[in-house]
Amino acid sequence: MSDNLSDAGNIIEIENVHKRFGRVVALDGVSLTVKRGEVVVIIGPSGSGKSTLLRCINHLETVDSGRIVVDGIPLTDAKNIDLVRTETGMVFQLFNLFPHLTALENVMLAQRVVRKRSEDEAERVAHQQLEKVGIPEKADAYPAQLSGGQQQRVAIARALAMQPKIMLFDEPTSALDPEMIKEVLDVMLDLAREGMTMVVVSHEMGFVRAAAKRIFFMCEGHIVEETTPEGLSLATCKEERTRQFLRNILI
């Protein structure tokens, strides 16, 4: 299984990945690597393939060609994809909490079913994670009784309870009311400070400046430009397409 390409420092390696939905080309030769403990942010206009790329890392989408290696395991010929998925936690734009379970049960379910933890241990970990995202008092509430921001924090706790090595965030704040965005971003910032490897699709410039190590600008299925938080400005970006995008979102 050991591979010369797998540098010990790289936890995600994406090589020349192509993906199309019918006639629409979503990813057109994308390559990028993420190091252990790194926070990477992907920005770009809608339809540029950001979410598709993220979903490919979690194998929710299969790639047409190219190679994705997560924690040393190539996804294309992984024998047990469920095992790879337990290494990566995913947070969705629309939270996707399980509406028939309480917040606590949401965080417990996969621990019990996938990690085969005992009821007591799963409950202990769940309380711990809900504490960590700042809503221990909502353990017995159902998702419909929680605000959007609270739901998203439960969703983060649910992913963290599996002790993933990588966290993927797919526009985690874009379905939230403005005053709820901060509570979710604060949780994400804490995670970044703890050294979690994170790949984030988001346009929250506050988060990007505070946490991102590297930023990828995607457009029409390509990575057009790679930059850093300091370099993400109209003056420093090299590509015209990036500058055009920044002009639109910075106003």
Closest CA to 134 of 160, 113, 115: 160
Site residues for another protein, 104-143, by CB under 8 A, read 109-110, 113-115, 142
CB atoms within 10 A of CB 247: 10
Candidate residues 3, 72, 76, 94; the one interacting with another protein per rule CB under 8 A:
94
The backbone region for 171, taken as left when phi is positive above 0, alpha when psi lies in -120 to 50, beta otherwise, is left
Q: Answer yes or no whether residue 100 interacts with another protein by CB under 8 A.
A: yes
Q: Which residue, 128 or 246, is less far from another protein as judged by CB? A: 128
Q: Which residue, 44 or 143, is less far from another protein as judged by CB? A: 143
Q: Which residue, 41 or 176, is less far from another protein as judged by CB? A: 176
Q: What is the contact mask toward another protein in residues 5 to 44, using x (rule: CB under 8 A)?
A: ----------------------------------------
| Residue 27 near residue 53 (C-beta atoms within 8 A) | yes
Q: Answer yes or no whether residue 158 interacts with another protein by CB under 8 A.
A: yes
- Whole-angstrom Cα distance, residue 4 to residue 128? 39
Q: What is the contact mask toward another protein in residues 73 to 92, using x (rule: CB under 8 A)?
A: ---------xx-xx-xxx-x
| Residue 187 near residue 133 (C-beta atoms within 8 A) | yes
| Residue 198 near residue 166 (C-beta atoms within 8 A) | yes
- Whole-angstrom Cα distance, residue 106 to residue 64? 33
- Whole-angstrom Cα distance, residue 191 to residue 188? 5
CB atoms within 10 A of CB 69: 20
CB 101, min distance to another protein, A: 8
Q: Which residue, 142 or 190, is less far from another protein as judged by CB? A: 142
Selected range binding another protein among 14-22, 65-73, 131-139, 172-180, rule: CB under 8 A: 172-180
Q: Which residue, 33 or 147, is less far from another protein as judged by CB? A: 147
Please state the three-class secondary structure of 22-42 as a single string.
CCEEEEEEEEEEEECCCEEEE
Q: Answer yes or no whether residue 148 interacts with another protein by CB under 8 A.
A: yes
| Pairing state between β 39-43 and 197-201 | parallel
CB 21, min distance to another protein, A: 14
Give the binding site for another protein (CB under 8 A): 58, 60, 82-83, 85-86, 88-90, 92, 94, 96-100, 109-110, 113-115, 142, 144-148, 155, 158-159, 162, 175-177, 180
